[in-house]
Structure formats: structure tokens, C-alpha cells
Structure 1
Amino acid sequence: MNIDFLELAEASPNPYVLMNRELRLVWMNRAYCAVTMRAREDIIDRKMFDAFPADPDSESFRQLRESLDHVLETGEPDEIALIRYDIARPDGGMESRYWSATHTPLHGPDGKPDYILQHTVDVTELQELRRLRDEVGVMRRAGAIQERNRNLERESQRLLEFFQQAPGFVAVLGGPTHVFQMANASYLRLVGREDIVGKTVEDALPEVVAQGFIATLDRVYESGQAYIGRREPVLLDGDHDPAHSRRVLNFIFQPISDGDGTVTGIIVQGYDVTEEVEYEGRQELLIQELNHRVKNTLAVVQSIAQQTFRNVPDSASAMATFKARLHALGAAHGLLTESSWSPASVREILDLTVAASFGPLDGRVLLDGPHFLLNPEVALALTMIVHELTTNAIKYGALSDDAGRVQVGWSVNAGDDCDVLSLTWRERGGPPVASAPREGFGTRLIRTGITSKRGTKVDLRFEPEGVVCALEVMLESGANHEPNAESPISSPIMPG
């Protein structure tokens, strides 16, 4: 789960303000602006005591200054249970206000506080009630406030821990020059640097300027539109050795907006997918090598067959049939190679096998069925069966004249423990079928059916109107419907 912690803090009903070591206000949430009656643009980048002036000799000034100095000097949190600190009203007058404040240090790479997160609670109403209640009641309320502050401090610490421990890399950039305000451990490991907070991207990562990333950040900042990078290569210097300086990343540049929609910064979040891309490249290379070897093997088998039957009388017809079967098997391997030996579509198998044997037969063969994927083993078996059916149809059946037609329909039904693929090859309009021919290798191959762990059924009938072959294959549960596929359609086979 990706959590936008900056947006979470912005939406919090509790007032938060972040100041640097110079006590300059670098960020505050909407609740803080509301409780102090100030607009963000009026106080951002101003020092605390300039934005909210107080008499340097007053108790208010002393309490706040000592608490902030304590955090900077010791690196430890500090609390002010109750402080009177008057603030200006929008009409220019001053208003007496009472506060309870918690100051939490945010440490930099050197272990020293770089920022102070102030959580402040307006307790003016409680102070007014104090005048009306006895001392016991006041102490009880003060104790409750301090407990609340402790809980809020723990909440802030948990948010920072979530940020640091996020599995993906995350960084927060501020302002139009893209200054690193925060970066988690994964981001620092990615860029191979530790000292980037407080620097601009251009200064911290100079090698990315020429790669176009600064220009992309500028467009996001100016337009307010997020940029999503998918498998984008980046070269990072850092402390990487040359073999690991090139990374491939999925990431997003997400603009950060204040209450009025003005972009104030950018969140960079993403994942390093270098190993995944390299694995896919190796896998593709291996598949291409497999395809090359299969083709070479088929060529060797064909050559052996030609040499073996060269002097055998009347073997030309058998040799032609053998070559056609090798060609169909090679085409099926090519189809599976194109999809990296992932499941292949029933429609693609039929298109490839029939068109490879007969070329364009507009309107002669009609396909009707849903988009469905078969695993490579089943796909190869179906290719060989369809090849035998089409070969018989062109020699003796519906495709042996100009009038015959072939209809191929299939459907997939989910069973209790498996899916059932039903496919029917039906020939009509060709020469009448007198009787079943002598059973040869092709017929036996068809009747053997499709290899499946759960079994297959074949019903091959030589009806007078034409051959009908009905296949029923039991597949593993979870039908492999193609993603974003349209509803079942009917279309004639086209060439190629």
C-alpha cells in the first residue's frame, strides 16, 4: 500500500509546522494556518519570530526560544505544557492566546537535527476555564493535554518510520528548483549517496540533468500534472560500480499542492525493476535460441527423411505429406516463440494452421468462438490435429471444390474441478462422403486427441454431408480468457 504521508499530514486536523535549523518556516499544514489566522504565503520561508513577533524580554519569547534551542542542542524532543503567546488578528490587533506545544527533531545524515516539527494546540479556552475552576481541575486538564501531545508525538514518529521503511524509493522535493526535503533509505541506496537533503536535484544528482529528468520535473511543477515513467533507464553515478550504474525504473512524479491548488513540491515514488527487465531479456534470448534449435532440428529431420526415402519407389506423395506436417509443427513453434512460450489463442492457432496450408480462402472457412488461451502443450497438439483436418478437407472433403465450406466453432465451460474446451470442425457443401477412408497416420493422430492431464474425447464422423470432428478437452480450472477481449465474434480466415 502506497501512502502519501505529506498529503496525510496536510489533511490532519492537528496543526503542524516544520522549521529548519535557522527556525525558518519551510512547511505548515492547513490546520496550522487556520489556528494562527495566517495565509501560507505570508509566513512560508520566514523565521518563526519574524512571522510571529514577541518582545525578546517577555516570558513568551523566553519559553519558546529555550524549547527550540534545547531541541537543536540536544537532538531530543521538548514540550511546553502551557505558554501564552499573543498573535495578530487579521484586522491588525493582537489577541491573547494560550498554547501547548511539542517540538520533535528530524535528524539529518550527520545525526544532528536538520528540522524541527512543531505540533501546537490552542488551549486558550482551557486557560479561560482555569480562572473558573480550582487547582485540581486545572492540573487534571493539563495532564490530559500533555498525554495528548505525547500521543501526537508518537503518531508523528510512526509516520516518519513508515516513510523510511517504505519498500519503494520515496523522496520529497520542494519549490521550483526541486530541493530534496526528505528521502527514504531505499532512495538513498538507489542514487548511491547520503548527503542529498537540502540540495537541489541538479546539485545532488548532476548526471540526471542531461538525461532529461530535470526538464520533466519542471513540467510537472508548472503544469500540476503527474508524470508516470514506465521502465525508464537512468544512469546514476553515486557509489555504484559501473556494472550497477544503469538502472531501469517504474516511478511517478506526483505534484504536491497547497490549499489553493498551488504546486509547492513533488513527491518522487517508484520501484527499481532492473533485475526484472534483465531476467526478461535473458528469457527472450533463451526462447529465441530454443526456436533456432527447433528449426534446425526440423530441417535435419526433413533432410534425413529426404535422404532415406530418395530411392524408395512411389514415396513422393508420402514425403510431401511428411514435409507438410513438419511445416505445421514449425509454424506452431513460431507462434509460441512470438508469445515467449506463453499461452496461445485458439483463434490464432486456427488462423495460422489453415492459412499456412491453403492461403486466402475468403468465406470458405468460418471461425466462431470466444477468445481463449491454451498452454503450449495443448496448442501444439491442436495445431497438428487442425493440420490433418484441413489437409483431408483440401484433398477429399469440403475444400476440394469451389462449393464446400468449413465451420469451426468452439466454446469453454467451467466445470466443478476443470474447464472444458469443446471444438467442432464441420464440413458441408463438398463432395458426398461415401464411407470412412482407410485409417492412416493422420486419422490415428486425430483420434488420439489433445494431450491433457485430465483427458480428452474425440468424435470423428464421416457423415454423407461432410466430415464432422468434435473435440472435448478437459483443462485445468481457471479459463485463460484473453485480457480485454471482445465478445465472441465470427470471421472468415484471412491470409497471414
Structure 2
Amino acid sequence: MSGWILPPSVFSEGSVTIDFQALLARSPNPYVLLDSDLRIVWMNDAYLQVTMRTRDKLLGQNMFDAFPSDPDSESHRQLEASFRRVFASGKQDEIALIRYDIPTPDGGMDVRYWSATHTPFADEARKVAYILQHTVDVTELQTLRAMRDEMGLIQRANAVQARNLDLAEEAGQFKSLFEQAPGFVAILHGPDHEFRMANAAYHKLVGGRDLLGKRVKDALPEVSGQRFLNLLDQVNRSGKPFIGRRLKVLLQNDEGTEVQERYLDFVYQPTVGEGGTVSGVFVQGHDVTDQVESEERQALLMNELNHRVKNTLAIVQGLAMQSFRQMPGSEVPRQTFNARLAALAAAHNLLTTSNWKTAGFIETVRSAAEASIGEDLARVHLDGRDFTIAPQTAVSLSMIIHELCTNAVKYGALSVPEGHIDLSWTIEDEQEDYRLIDLRWEERGGPPVQQPASRGFGSRLIEHGFSTERASGVVIDFRPTGLLCTIKAKLTNASIVS
């Protein structure tokens, strides 16, 4: 059988339309697709199940790296020889029985016997570019061979064989994996980057222009003055892939029209031909223009919101100064009020940089403390894992840290040069939908402290904590050696920073 050239991905006849990509992916039979370097480029769920692997652990791996075996073993030589025959002849090759053990998740090896069929897929130049491996796990058949007459194992094997879809028919529809891909895909050949294949998404990106058989610089002349041709040359020379993130490209969809800005996520992957030399570049990516423009608009709105909030805080501060000025002995309350406004503004600035989505716990603590005690921040020792918290939690935490810092400066460890503060936190319980945080503020080296006769706003704010969930709570211990404040907080939307 000659090497198959990938056919159309979707077959339609009358009112019947079949997506063969989805059909192959859902097949109960294991399939894996290898490129000319025996790298794994696709597999279906049945293959993942039978090999006890995950997709991210296999994609891009060489077959013999993903499933290592002794190069001198019979199974290794048998499999390698089958691949060589396919590449050399361009014809399908079969291995009736091969022992090839599979690593188990616990680190052991599972003895397995297989029957394998290797089907070639050729590119436009009739060179084998991919091999589709169809494997059948016959371990049970091999193990129970002595019992096959009693158990009717041969009949069972025949029944399984009858249920299998015809491999040639399935392979004939395999091109759907490329043509119907949601991202743009193109195959370029040679040092001049001649288009050999481009899917519908790629044609849509470039305005439906005629591409096949043309060089990139001829088919897309507007990109010649941009960096993309240089990147293609670099991949062709080095044999190393290039990954682009949100790169701007100017494209002219129709002749005579103005160029348009587009933003692309893409990869240039070198393809290797006979002799191990780079024969071309495989292009795959997504148009992320809408996402980039949406984020730019959001950033503009957030900056405008931040500007207006700062103006509002400035107005509030001005009103407070006018109001306090008329009250005898208002200097200390005015300073306290201004300091709390500054802490609130620091929390707001921190959240604005993250578009009010989440804030880092450590950065929130550090920002609030620095706004309150300035250079004395060096006397506060932080110890704990970082994680993200919701905006409202960040604001509450900032105000609590501000009050603790202010009290430490007035009455506690920061009121004397030798004093310091240990601020530590641990994650007592880590579940999928919440984290239970245990925070400990401990002052050392300061003057003896006593419980105040009355509770002010700051004390009530600290005692409220930064979570309203059950299992949250605050304990303030006015020990003679220094204040100890412990806060337990159940955070339903905290996320650990790796």
C-alpha cells in the first residue's frame, strides 16, 4: 500500500456530514501520530488510557523517550525496524506480536504484548511525513494462550477485530485534523519557505489569497519588511522552533487596501527530512487580536478609574482637613485619618496593577506596611508562602496591617530602635474551593504592653479580620513581652502562587 496523502477532514454527502477528526478521537482503538523524527504529535483518548499517560506528558516526545526500552532488546529493534521500513518503502507495515513494557504511574513496569500497524502519510512531495500507529493490547491473549480453547479467547479476539473500524478508511479521513483546526496552520517547504499546505483559518487570516506553491515573500509581500521572514530563516538554519506571543503583524487582506494590525500567538516548528536536515517549517497559531484590543481597552478604563478614585480620595482628604481644622485638638485624629487614607490608596494602587482581579498576599502586606512605617519595613520579618487574594480581602488586609503597624510605632516594638516584628502565616487546610490561613503577628524587643482601657476604631477593625467566613477569627494577646495577634481566615478564592 503506498503512503497515504491526507484527505479532506469533513465528508459530506447530501444532508449527512461526518467530522472524521472527532470520530478518530473518540475511537475505542488506540491511535498515535508520529512525525518524521518519531515525535508524538497527536493521540486519541484510547491511546492515553491504554498507556496510562496524559496528553501533556506525551506531546512532542520522541516515541522511544516517551516509552524507553533497552536499545539492544528484541522489542526495541523490532519496533525501530518497522518504522524504518515504513519510511524507506512508503508502505504500511505490521507487527503481529511485540512485547513492549509500559512504565506505570507508581514507577514500576507493566508487562504488555501488542499488535501494531504502522500506516504512512505522505506530504505533497510524496515523502513520508507522518506515521499513524494503531495498537491493540493483546497481553491478555498472550497470557491466557494456554487457556484459549476453554475460554473461547480466539472467538473473543475475532469479535474485537470485527468491531474495529477499517484502518484504511479511518486514515483516509485524517486530514480533518489539519483542515478543520481552529487555529491557522501552514506547511512551508525549503529555504525560500514555499507554501505546501494552508488550512481554512490561515486563508481567512490573509484574506483568502492564493498561497500554494508560492514563496511567503511573493504570496504575502507586505510581511517582507517585517521580522517574520527573518524568523523563518532562523528556524530553518538552527533547526530550533520559535514561539511568538502576541506579536504584531501588518496584513493586507485585499490588494490596494490599507494594511491592518493583527496580533498573533504562533509557533514555527522545523520539519526534518531525510538525513536529519531541516526541510521546512510547520506554522501553527491563533489570531488573538480581539483579546489584545479588549485588554488594552480594559487597561485604559482601569487607569481612568484609578485616576478618578485618587481625585476622590484627594477631595475627601481636603474636606477632612477643613473639618478637622475647626475642631480644637484635632491634629492627632487628622493625622490618623490621613494615614488610613494613605493605606487605602496603597491597596487601591496595588489592585489597579492587577486590573482588580486578584492581589498577591505578600505584596499586599508589604505595600500596606511600607505606606505606614516607611523605612522601618526592614524591621518586619515576613515568613510564608505567597498566594493570591480577592480585591475585597486585599483592602481589608491592608487596613489591618496599617493599624497593627501604627500601634507598633506608637506603643509597641517599633517605638524603640531594638524592636522588631515577626509576621508569619501558614496554610492550615488547603482544599480545592478554599484555603484556611493562620496569620501570626508577634512583636519582640519593645516596651512592655498592656491591654488598653477602651477599644477604638483600629482595634475593632483588627478584630473584624479579613474574612467573614465561618472558621475565621482573631485573637489579640497583650503580653508583657510584646503584642501577639493571631488571625485565622477562611478564604474561598485564594490561589497558591507556584
TM-score by length of 2: 0.66
CA distance in 1, matches of 2:410, 2:358: 31
2:252–2:259 CA contact under 8 A, matched in 1 = no
The DSSP-based 3-state class of the residue aligned with 2:269 is strand
Q: Aligned to 2:447, which of 420, 426, 431?
A: 431
CA distance in 2, matches of 1:186, 1:244: 19
CA distance in 2, matches of 1:303, 1:342: 30
Provide the residue aligned with 2:67 in structure 1: none
The DSSP-based 3-state class of the residue aligned with 1:238 is coil
CA distance in 2, matches of 1:310, 1:280: 44
* CA spacing shift, 1:190–1:399, aligned 2, 3 Å: same
1:255–1:266 CA contact under 8 A, matched in 2 = yes
Which deviates the most, 240-249 or 446-455?
240-249
Displacement of 1:238 in angstroms is: 2.0
Residue 280 of structure 2 corresponds to residue 226 of structure 1 = no
Provide the residue aligned with 1:251 in structure 2: 266
| Amino acid of the structure 2 residue aligned with 1:419 | R
* CA spacing shift, 1:156–1:177, aligned 2, 3 Å: farther
Displacement of 1:463 in angstroms is: 1.8
Provide the residue aligned with 1:160 in structure 2: 175
The DSSP-based 3-state class of the residue aligned with 1:176 is coil
Question: What are structure 1's unaligned runs of at least 5 residues?
Answer: 13-28, 38-103, 107-113, 119-149, 484-496
CA distance in 1, matches of 2:125, 2:421: 77
CA distance in 2, matches of 1:448, 1:240: 66
Which deviates the most, 271-280 or 413-422?
413-422
CA RMSD of aligned residues (A): 3.3
| Amino acid of the structure 1 residue aligned with 2:353 | E
Displacement of 1:296 in angstroms is: 1.1
* CA spacing shift, 1:241–1:271, aligned 2, 3 Å: farther
* CA spacing shift, 1:282–1:453, aligned 2, 3 Å: farther
Provide the residue aligned with 1:461 in structure 2: 477
| Amino acid of the structure 2 residue aligned with 1:35 | S
CA distance in 1, matches of 2:215, 2:382: 61
1:233–1:248 CA contact under 8 A, matched in 2 = yes
* CA spacing shift, 1:214–1:433, aligned 2, 3 Å: closer
* CA spacing shift, 1:308–1:164, aligned 2, 3 Å: same
Provide the residue aligned with 1:193 in structure 2: 208
Provide the residue aligned with 2:367 in structure 1: 352
* CA spacing shift, 1:222–1:368, aligned 2, 3 Å: closer
CA offsets, 1:120-148, max 9 Å, x none? xxxxxxxxxxxxxxxxxxxxxxxxxxxxx
Displacement of 1:388 in angstroms is: 0.7
| Amino acid of the structure 2 residue aligned with 1:385 | I
1:454–1:474 CA contact under 8 A, matched in 2 = yes
| Amino acid of the structure 2 residue aligned with 1:207 | E
Displacement of 1:454 in angstroms is: 4.2
Q: Aligned to 1:395, which of 410, 426, 432?
A: 410
2:369–2:377 CA contact under 8 A, matched in 1 = no
CA offsets, 1:357-382, max 9 Å, x none? 22223753221211122211111101
Matching of residues 77-156 of structure 1 within 5 Å: 154-156=169-171
2:469–2:489 CA contact under 8 A, matched in 1 = no
Provide the residue aligned with 1:333 in structure 2: 348
CA distance in 2, matches of 1:280, 1:265: 35
2:270–2:278 CA contact under 8 A, matched in 1 = yes
Displacement of 1:415 in angstroms is: 5.4
Q: Aligned to 1:35, which of 79, 89, 111?
A: 89
The DSSP-based 3-state class of the residue aligned with 1:434 is coil
CA distance in 2, matches of 1:267, 1:465: 68
CA distance in 2, matches of 1:117, 1:418: 55
* CA spacing shift, 1:289–1:306, aligned 2, 3 Å: same
Provide the residue aligned with 1:281 in structure 2: 296
The DSSP-based 3-state class of the residue aligned with 1:260 is helix
CA distance in 2, matches of 1:452, 1:350: 19
Q: Aligned to 1:239, which of 254, 269, 277?
A: 254
Provide the residue aligned with 1:260 in structure 2: 275
* CA spacing shift, 1:289–1:362, aligned 2, 3 Å: closer
* CA spacing shift, 1:218–1:340, aligned 2, 3 Å: same
Provide the residue aligned with 1:382 in structure 2: 397
Provide the residue aligned with 1:42 in structure 2: none
Displacement of 1:288 in angstroms is: 1.2
The DSSP-based 3-state class of the residue aligned with 2:173 is helix
1:11–1:30 CA contact under 8 A, matched in 2 = no
2:252–2:258 CA contact under 8 A, matched in 1 = no
Extract structure 1 runs of 4+ deviating beyond 4 A: 5-12, 29-33, 114-118, 150-153, 240-244
Residue 350 of structure 2 corresponds to residue 323 of structure 1 = no
Displacement of 1:339 in angstroms is: 2.2
Question: What are structure 2's unaligned runs of at least 5 residues?
Answer: 1-20, 26-31, 40-82, 92-120, 129-164
CA distance in 2, matches of 1:397, 1:219: 62
Displacement of 1:279 in angstroms is: 1.5
Displacement of 1:156 in angstroms is: 4.7
Structure number with greater Rg is 1
* CA spacing shift, 1:401–1:261, aligned 2, 3 Å: same
* CA spacing shift, 1:405–1:8, aligned 2, 3 Å: closer
Provide the residue aligned with 2:437 in structure 1: 421
Displacement of 1:115 in angstroms is: 8.8
Q: Aligned to 1:298, which of 297, 309, 313?
A: 313
Displacement of 1:9 in angstroms is: 7.8
1:171–1:180 CA contact under 8 A, matched in 2 = yes
2:253–2:259 CA contact under 8 A, matched in 1 = no
State the number of aligned residues. Answer: 360
* CA spacing shift, 1:6–1:199, aligned 2, 3 Å: farther
The DSSP-based 3-state class of the residue aligned with 1:232 is strand
CA offsets, 1:41-84, max 9 Å, x none? xxxxxxxxxxxxxxxxxxxxxxxxxxxxxxxxxxxxxxxxxxxx
CA offsets, 1:159-195, max 9 Å, x none? 2222110111111111221111111101000111241
The DSSP-based 3-state class of the residue aligned with 1:360 is helix
Displacement of 1:309 in angstroms is: 2.1
* CA spacing shift, 1:153–1:197, aligned 2, 3 Å: farther
The DSSP-based 3-state class of the residue aligned with 1:158 is coil
| Amino acid of the structure 2 residue aligned with 1:393 | A
